[in-house]
Amino acid sequence: MLYNMTSVPDSEADLAEALENARARFRLWRKRAVYSIVAFVLSCAAVYPFVDGRVLSAQGESVKHGLLLLWLTLFLMFLYYTLLLWGAWRSVRDLELGRT
């Protein structure tokens, strides 16, 4: 359920339901954002041995390119999930402020 700040909720029960739905959405996106951050950091750690001047930099150019594509994909996922987490947080905050 989306909450519109310009309209008045029909009852206190509707506001409580909207707040609970917003909190559930926030918990979901927080979990996904944490998982994407962990995956992103692990992909950074996987790319590091292939950086120029390191032990594995001379071998495996295709592996290096594959890991960099993986890094970029995980970076985009991290960014997307974090922005959705911010939006869910704003929904919860707006509902809590509207309630008082």
What is the band of 27 on the pLDDT scale with cuts at 50, 70, 90? very high
Sorted by sequence, the CB contacts under 8 Å of residue 44 that are 6+ apart come out as 71
5 in any annotated domain: no
Q: Are 93 and 13 in contact (CB under 8 A)?
A: no
Counting residues of the chain whose pLDDT is more than 90, the rounded percentage is 45
Q: Are 5 and 22 in contact (CB under 8 A)?
A: no
4 in any annotated domain: no
pLDDT at residue number 100: 42
Question: How far lies 7's CA from each of 3, 15, 20, 63, in Å?
Answer: 8, 11, 18, 55
In this prediction, residues 5-14 reach a mean pLDDT of: 68
58 in any annotated domain: yes
> Which tens digit of pLDDT belongs to each residue from 28-51?
999 999 999 999 999 888 887 777
Among 32, 33, 44, 34, smallest CA distance to 72 is for 44
pTM for the model: 0.73
2 in any annotated domain: no
Tell me how many domains the chain contains: 1
26 in any annotated domain: yes
In this prediction, residues 69-79 reach a mean pLDDT of: 92
Q: Are 26 and 95 in contact (CB under 8 A)?
A: no
> Mean pLDDT, the chain, as a whole number?
83
Domain that holds residue 65: 12-99
